[in-house]
Amino acid sequence: MAHVTITRPTTYRAAVIGTGFMGRVHSHAIAAAGGTVAGIAGSTPERARRAAPALRAEAVFDDIGALIDAADVVHVCVPNHLHAPIALAAIAAGKHVVCEKPLATDLDTARAMTEAAAAAGVVATVPFVYRFHPMVREARARVAAGRIGRLTLAHGSYLQDWLLRPDDDNWRVDADKGGALRAFGDIGSHWCDLLEFVTGDRITAVSAQLATANRRRGGRDVSTEDIVTLQFATAGGMIGSTVVSQVSAGRKNRLLLEVSGTEATLAFDQERPETLWIGGREVNGVLMRDPDHLSPDAARLARVPGGHAQGYQDCFNAFVADTGAAIAGDAPDGLPVFADGLRAARIAEAVAASARARDWAEVPA
Amino acid sequence: MAHVTITRPTTYRAAVIGTGFMGRVHSHAIAAAGGTVAGIAGSTPERARRAAPALRAEAVFDDIGALIDAADVVHVCVPNHLHAPIALAAIAAGKHVVCEKPLATDLDTARAMTEAAAAAGVVATVPFVYRFHPMVREARARVAAGRIGRLTLAHGSYLQDWLLRPDDDNWRVDADKGGALRAFGDIGSHWCDLLEFVTGDRITAVSAQLATANRRRGGRDVSTEDIVTLQFATAGGMIGSTVVSQVSAGRKNRLLLEVSGTEATLAFDQERPETLWIGGREVNGVLMRDPDHLSPDAARLARVPGGHAQGYQDCFNAFVADTGAAIAGDAPDGLPVFADGLRAARIAEAVAASARARDWAEVPA
Amino acid sequence: MAHVTITRPTTYRAAVIGTGFMGRVHSHAIAAAGGTVAGIAGSTPERARRAAPALRAEAVFDDIGALIDAADVVHVCVPNHLHAPIALAAIAAGKHVVCEKPLATDLDTARAMTEAAAAAGVVATVPFVYRFHPMVREARARVAAGRIGRLTLAHGSYLQDWLLRPDDDNWRVDADKGGALRAFGDIGSHWCDLLEFVTGDRITAVSAQLATANRRRGGRDVSTEDIVTLQFATAGGMIGSTVVSQVSAGRKNRLLLEVSGTEATLAFDQERPETLWIGGREVNGVLMRDPDHLSPDAARLARVPGGHAQGYQDCFNAFVADTGAAIAGDAPDGLPVFADGLRAARIAEAVAASARARDWAEVPA
Amino acid sequence: MAHVTITRPTTYRAAVIGTGFMGRVHSHAIAAAGGTVAGIAGSTPERARRAAPALRAEAVFDDIGALIDAADVVHVCVPNHLHAPIALAAIAAGKHVVCEKPLATDLDTARAMTEAAAAAGVVATVPFVYRFHPMVREARARVAAGRIGRLTLAHGSYLQDWLLRPDDDNWRVDADKGGALRAFGDIGSHWCDLLEFVTGDRITAVSAQLATANRRRGGRDVSTEDIVTLQFATAGGMIGSTVVSQVSAGRKNRLLLEVSGTEATLAFDQERPETLWIGGREVNGVLMRDPDHLSPDAARLARVPGGHAQGYQDCFNAFVADTGAAIAGDAPDGLPVFADGLRAARIAEAVAASARARDWAEVPA
């Protein structure tokens, strides 16, 4: 017999709603995970039609309800203020949901979405995708194994420059569409998620400042912040701080997280995601992503040998693959779900409250 | 009307022959390019069957002729000594071919394969995939535009450590399967291809040394080299050198290329592929892969914003996509074809001759 | 005539009080500046005698008053709580003074010392020596020239690990000898000085947290902090933050200062003091300390060509040379004087008050 | 008794001949070592007089013989073709000599100088000062202790850009004053010295190419090379290569040396001299110059704590201090003497012969 045909049941028929950059990233990840993009919808039918080839869409829908019906999993990649209605509709239809962060533009809505997903028993995930860098997993495994000792200090930054100039503009700048906290909601939430993910610890109180470097963009006043500075304390006894900015010239996507304990320090830089810096009193280590020398959860996410760089799309692919595994009944370690999105909303609310009151604000567990 | 179905004709039905690491990388790239893996074959039917899910194969073949017949494009991912018979069979069947490098274990065979592909009029490409790092394209564009001035010096290295220990072993170690030149054939050829690709210049003479650090592996004598040092001169008047090693502890895939001209220096490091170093007398520049600030051919290959790392698989995806475009009748810039594989074989032969004679050896144009 | 004898009047006859590491650094700088160490005194006469050769001392004194009388300039290199009595005695004797930081262990004493020096009309300097890295001067010149634009954000850290372990000990750990704030007084003050020096701006309010990682050292309780996190706002409209730690494994003397404006970002790392990072939207620059391409004040402090590293002792030498120039009647730009030491004490008091009250604290101008 | 006067016999009364940049560096090092600059001479008496303050000279001589008579140690800091007559005169007068490299512009003269110094029994040293970076000593100690394993490969580069432009000029460009080999004699010799110093191995054969990027400078033809590429083999069984250039834009003084053995790799970068990179299969190390964690000979040369940078002048100071120790009868480890300068001349002659003949050339032991 010359050949055997392989039948692979497609378990991941996705709807992708939103056809911008994030829609393309989601679609590519769906294909990489062996799924299909059963249909897409965009802000206009024409846009969706033009985007269809790049998104490998099997169909273009102009009715979102029909699109939800046609899919098993709904990927919500639209501006923030539209996350809730679409995600809630998908959940109501019994579909699994992947919803971009921030889940919603206010805490109550994020809570409602999380509760709805839980009640419906669907898989509902949020792409805190930096969790899927193998070296982030390695950092987490080393903390968990006690190799860093008792944690004492965490600090870092998340810096970008794409909104540096007064004529740089985006829907995220508008509080109505993106939410009242922009830089923090968009990228600061990633930093806090990574901190809590790597350390297994929880922020309990924050003290923050907000600043808007460009008070006008696109001919209108801007109320959302360009810069956040943030101090915090944790349940486990760490103190720390971070800086978030979208107006730091020369920094493209500089997420730095440094965690110090009584035995060692770990530092991860998202612009160089293939290495983990391990500070020691006698010698510092630079661990490269060589699957032969990583902890199991990090090695699991290493797809190519050390020195052959993995990147952002690889993280996204792994996130969608793990979402698929959860739908199939597995419980992949570290999958970010709506509860994590809700957690981010809680921290964001405390940051806003602290800055407003110029005082420390508690973060509920 | 609720939706429009999109019909995408599959123009890229691929056979993947060889189910190891490279087979997986090729398969992922085929899927990312919108193609399908119509069938696979491996060293044994059992291995192929086990690999089928990871390779998204639609069928597993135990007859390679039948597999070739079932595909439009044949990806040859087997040990080096098997490249020629399979690629020639595919060409004879009128199929397009993607053949791993080195094309063959000797120059004459590489020439025969190149001539056969040309005679058959098929697209025949070789994955010199580092050409698909956007920053490599940026370097090439800057040289071509004269921004580096008249080129005077090129140097660098390609260093790995996966064969450091006497008990590290692989089919590439055997001259019968991998060819007489191992380190140079496997990775040195990449360096030379990148040099000529970035500079548009040609090596005309080489002087080389070979060394075998571990003379026994796996209980048998080893004749292939672990280390190469290489000097060269070019048609355009540069001199230069490189070092190739598979036994350099701590270097995973360290391909460094530095090119100096009368105006500036460019340096590219494959372990940090997202930046290009631009040396200047007054200030040095570090250009990040931000598509908004790249030359057109580099921007074309940038899939995600600056600071969101692209990696090895992204290069491979772009290579296969461009192979697909060539099959569709386009002429994508910089696509590495069998003539480039033949070029690598010519340089390799001169390297071997130089080392043997302990003298300079000419490289035919 | 075969030769001409050169008569150089020694204008810098120094007393060095304190014979530890800082005493050696001061003595070397005095010699490098062409001065002489007329005499030294230590915690015991025996110690001073043993240290004399390394400090090039012309004499060893056991009476500090006599030593002050024998010198033109008195270098105070003793534990912090002894700074004031010695410096005030030197000032009372009409001598110039170089006093280690922090000037005193409380604000009132620092103010009294500053006023005494002003009243006496002597030169009184404080070794905020990082001001003497040429690339710090370059950063300052670029800010002053408007090349960074309107400043919006400053952040960074000052991290060490020499007090990581519970058995690491030093007089600085005792509040009685070193002052109530230890990490901030010892190194945080450097960071704040550098911030204000480079930007020409002033911190107006701070919000801080303190933590003591090791609550016992050397068999006694520790009240001084190992870690500080600090947020601030400035008169010029910047916000910012910094992290100070003496228990960050792997960080030896990591003073990082990053300043962002509407046009560019500057970053200086004291562990790599020969370069200045210049962030830009299109390309980042790495400026090396090549005197041919620096602003005048930076070029003035460049003693060797680019690529031939300058270091900590070179900074100290330049600081003492500028102190000597001030004594000779010049007004060298950027010389840190007692008013700067007083400024540091004001900020330290606000940091302590903020941490105590868990609230923002104003910093008087 | 209030004080004890310390009498330090001045054992190091130096003559400094040559008042350019190197003369200043030597003079500073003499002072740092506790010596005195008894007298100086320059290319003209006026120049010497102007330079006297910067060189802390006690006298200016216009007769070199008289200057030699007035000193115990003669520092020869003049253009290369003048090294031999002055050094030989000093040796004939029974004086110790510190002579800049290259010792002479031809091998025979270098040999005669070395023999003369040996016959006279004077201390005669050559400032291969990069040997005095503590991390170079650390590398050497680790090789000697077998921590790198059996050495297999050495490579690197020494790159500068100060002669990049056709209008950059210097006496070194003239073969009559600087010698026939310029880039190799000036900086390549440092690289080879460091290689042999760190590894304890010897180059036995070389194959080199020379290139002159700018064939005219200052209105005259240039015969000396701007660029060298060099392959070599060693007595111990290593192969290797290096690149030397004075026209590599953006590289100021980039001396890189990487040595690989069967256990580990070491890399030293003179532009970042405070760290040593230690490549390993599992994790790479970055060792900082923290005296508490260095081998004895490295710790001996560490003058300030880790993180407080040491630099070029610190190396020079240590070199002169060790020269002084040798004069005093000690035998400091690693002091570069005329035999090392002669060794450099032998390698240079082989490099020139190889390039001329386009063939390998042996290097006599």
Over residues B84-115, the pLDDT tens digits come to: 999 999 999 999 999 999 999 999 999 999 99
In which residue are the tokens 């350019």 written? D20
In which residue are the tokens 């791993």 written? B100
User: Is D272 inside any structural domain?
Assistant: yes
Cis peptide before A45 (omega within 30 of 0): no
Q: A283 vs D283: CB contact, 8 Å cut-off?
A: no
Task: Identify the band that residue B3 occupies on the pLDDT scale cut at 50, 70 and 90.
Answer: confident
Same structural domain, B42 and B101: yes
- Cα distances (Å, whole numbers) of residue C199 to C254, C266, C270: 20, 11, 17
Same structural domain, B76 and B151: no
Asked if B44 and B52 count as a contact pair (C-beta separation under 8 A), the reply is no
Across chain A, mean pLDDT equals 96
Asked if A59 and A80 count as a contact pair (C-beta separation under 8 A), the reply is no
Task: Identify the band that residue B267 occupies on the pLDDT scale cut at 50, 70 and 90.
Answer: very high
Residue where a domain terminates, one of B67, B102, B128: B128
- Cα distances (Å, whole numbers) of residue A75 to A133, A316, B109: 21, 13, 50
Task: Identify the band that residue A10 occupies on the pLDDT scale cut at 50, 70 and 90.
Answer: low
Q: Quote the pLDDT of residue C86.
A: 98
With beta carbons under 8 A apart, name residues in chain D contacting A299: none
Q: B304 vs A313: CB contact, 8 Å cut-off?
A: yes
Give the separation between CA C341 and CA C102, rounded to whole angstroms. 7
Take residue B180 and report the two structure tokens written for it.
């007489």
Same structural domain, A346 and A211: yes
Q: Quote the pLDDT of residue D312.
A: 96
User: Is C325 inside any structural domain?
Assistant: no
Q: Quote the pLDDT of residue B310.
A: 95
Give the separation between CA D365 and CA D363, rounded to whole angstroms. 6
Model ipTM?
0.96
pLDDT at residue B11 greater than cutoff 90: no
First to last CA, chain C: 62
First to last CA, chain D: 62
CB pairs under 8 A between A and B: 143
Q: Quote the pLDDT of residue C6.
A: 75
pLDDT one-digit tens code per residue, B197-215: 999 999 999 999 999 999 9
Q: Quote the pLDDT of residue A11.
A: 74
Residue B112, burial from CB neighbour count under 10 angstroms (0-12, 13-18, 19+): middle
Asked if D272 and D156 count as a contact pair (C-beta separation under 8 A), the reply is no
With beta carbons under 8 A apart, name residues in chain A contacting B3: 39, 59-63, 66-67, 70
Could you tell me if residue C149 is left (phi over 0), alpha (psi between -120 and 50 degrees) or otherwise beta?
left
User: Is D270 inside any structural domain?
Assistant: yes
Any bridge partners for residue B267, and if so which?
B258, B277
pLDDT one-digit tens code per residue, D321-358: 999 999 999 999 999 999 999 999 999 999 999 999 99
| C220 Cβ contact partners less than 8 Å away, ≥ 6 residues apart | none
Residues of C with CB under 8 A from a CB of B: 278, 281-288, 290, 293
Same structural domain, A143 and A120: no
In which residue are the tokens 């060269």 written? B232
| C67 Cβ contact partners less than 8 Å away, ≥ 6 residues apart | C15, C17, C39, C40, C41, C61, C74, D3
pLDDT at residue C327 greater than cutoff 80: yes
Report the 10 Å Cβ neighbour count for C190: 24
Q: Which of C54, C67, C49, C70 is nearest to C21 (CA)?
A: C54
Give the separation between CA A59 and CA A48, rounded to whole angstroms. 10
Q: Quote the pLDDT of residue C155.
A: 98
Asked if D162 and C305 count as a contact pair (C-beta separation under 8 A), the reply is yes
Query: Mean pLDDT over residues B45-60, rounded?
Result: 94
Q: How many CA atoms lie within 13 A of B125 on its CB side?
A: 28
pTM score, whole prediction: 0.96
Across chain D, mean pLDDT equals 96
pLDDT at residue D9 greater than cutoff 90: no
With beta carbons under 8 A apart, name residues in chain C contacting D273: 309
Q: Quote the pLDDT of residue D6.
A: 76
Task: Identify the band that residue D190 occupies on the pLDDT scale cut at 50, 70 and 90.
Answer: very high
Query: Mean pLDDT over residues B36-49, rounded?
Result: 94
Share of chain A above pLDDT 70, in %: 98
In which residue are the tokens 């001329």 written? D356
User: Is B291 inside any structural domain?
Assistant: yes
Q: D164 vs B262: CB contact, 8 Å cut-off?
A: yes
pLDDT at residue A1 greater than cutoff 70: no
In which residue are the tokens 């062409």 written? C34
Give the separation between CA D286 and CA D284, rounded to whole angstroms. 7
Q: Quick check: helix, strand or coil at residue C284?
A: strand
Q: Quote the pLDDT of residue D8.
A: 65
Q: C4 vs D60: CB contact, 8 Å cut-off?
A: yes
Task: Identify the band that residue D58 occupies on the pLDDT scale cut at 50, 70 and 90.
Answer: very high
Asked if A16 and A27 count as a contact pair (C-beta separation under 8 A), the reply is yes
Any bridge partners for residue C269, and if so which?
C256
Take residue A141 and report the two structure tokens written for it.
């495994």
Q: What is the DSSP letter of D173?
A: G
Give the separation between CA B158 and CA B135, rounded to whole angstroms. 17
Q: D283 vs A281: CB contact, 8 Å cut-off?
A: no
Give the separation between CA A45 and CA A61, rounded to whole angstroms. 7
Could you tell me if residue B274 is left (phi over 0), alpha (psi between -120 and 50 degrees) or otherwise beta?
alpha
User: Is B207 inside any structural domain?
Assistant: yes
Give the separation between CA A246 and CA A257, rounded to whole angstroms. 17
Q: D153 vs B250: CB contact, 8 Å cut-off?
A: no
Q: How many CA atoms lie within 13 A of A333 on its CB side?
A: 14
Asked if C136 and C268 count as a contact pair (C-beta separation under 8 A), the reply is yes
Closest residue on chain A to C227 (Cα): A153
Give the separation between CA B125 and CA B330, rounded to whole angstroms. 14
Give the separation between CA A333 and CA C316, rounded to whole angstroms. 53
Report the 10 Å Cβ neighbour count for B16: 30
Q: Where are the beta strands (DSSP E) in A132-274?
A: 151-159, 203-211, 216-217, 220-221, 227-234, 239-245, 254-261, 265-269
Q: Quote the pLDDT of residue B6.
A: 75
Report the 10 Å Cβ neighbour count for A44: 11
Across chain B, mean pLDDT equals 96
Same structural domain, D211 and D144: yes
Residues of A with CB under 8 A from a CB of D: 278, 281-288, 290, 293
Give the separation between CA B41 and CA C364, rounded to whole angstroms. 77
Query: Mean pLDDT over residues D50-62, rounded?
Result: 94
pLDDT at residue C250 greater than cutoff 90: yes
Same structural domain, B107 and B118: yes
Q: Quote the pLDDT of residue A5.
A: 83
Q: Quote the pLDDT of residue B2.
A: 63
Asked if D152 and D146 count as a contact pair (C-beta separation under 8 A), the reply is no
Same structural domain, C156 and C121: no
Residue where a domain terminates, one of D128, D148, D180: D128
Out of D282, D285, D293, name the one closest to residue A293 (CB). D282
Share of chain C above pLDDT 70, in %: 98
pLDDT at residue A3 greater than cutoff 90: no
Take residue A105 and report the two structure tokens written for it.
């533009």
In this predicted structure, which of B97-101, C3-7, C15-19, D61-65 has the lowest mean pLDDT? C3-7
In which residue are the tokens 């089928």 written? B52
Give the separation between CA B39 and CA B35, rounded to whole angstroms. 12
In which residue are the tokens 């600061």 written? A188
Task: Suggest the residue from B22, B308, B317, B319 to mutate for an interface test with chain A (most A CBs closer than 10 A).
Answer: B308
Share of chain D above pLDDT 90, in %: 95
Share of chain B above pLDDT 90, in %: 95
pLDDT at residue A42 greater than cutoff 80: yes
Q: Quick check: helix, strand or coil at residue B43?
A: coil
- CATH number of the domain within which C302 lies: 3.30.360.10
Same structural domain, D297 and D184: yes
Residue where a domain terminates, one of B128, B159, B193: B128
Give the separation between CA B204 and CA B184, rounded to whole angstroms. 17
Same structural domain, B255 and B144: yes
Task: Identify the band that residue C10 occupies on the pLDDT scale cut at 50, 70 and 90.
Answer: low
**Type of residue numbered D149:** G
Count up the domains in chain D and report the number: 2
| D338 Cβ contact partners less than 8 Å away, ≥ 6 residues apart | D99, D103, D110, D113, D114, D117, D118, D124, D125, D126
Same structural domain, A83 and A24: yes
Q: Quote the pLDDT of residue D67.
A: 97
Same structural domain, B356 and B209: yes
Give the separation between CA C95 and CA C103, rounded to whole angstroms. 17
Closest residue on chain D to C316 (Cα): D308
| D43 Cβ contact partners less than 8 Å away, ≥ 6 residues apart | D18, D19, D78
| CA Rg value for chain C | 21
Asked if B351 and B184 count as a contact pair (C-beta separation under 8 A), the reply is yes
User: Is C317 inside any structural domain?
Assistant: no
Q: What is the DSSP letter of D22?
A: H
Taking the CA of residue A291 and the nearest CA in chain D, the distance in Å comes to 10
pLDDT at residue C157 greater than cutoff 80: yes
Give the separation between CA A19 and CA A35, rounded to whole angstroms. 17
Give the separation between CA C297 and CA C301, rounded to whole angstroms. 7
pLDDT at residue D129 greater than cutoff 70: yes
Range of the domain at B120: 13-128
- CATH number of the domain within which D19 lies: 3.40.50.720
Taking the CA of residue D324 and the nearest CA in chain A, the distance in Å comes to 33
User: Is A70 inside any structural domain?
Assistant: yes
User: Is B139 inside any structural domain?
Assistant: yes
Angle between helices A21-32 and B21-32 (to 10 degrees): 140
H/E run at residue C287: strand C284-288
Q: D286 vs A285: CB contact, 8 Å cut-off?
A: yes
H/E run at residue B117: helix B107-120
Same structural domain, B104 and B169: no
Give the separation between CA A307 and CA B161, rounded to whole angstroms. 10
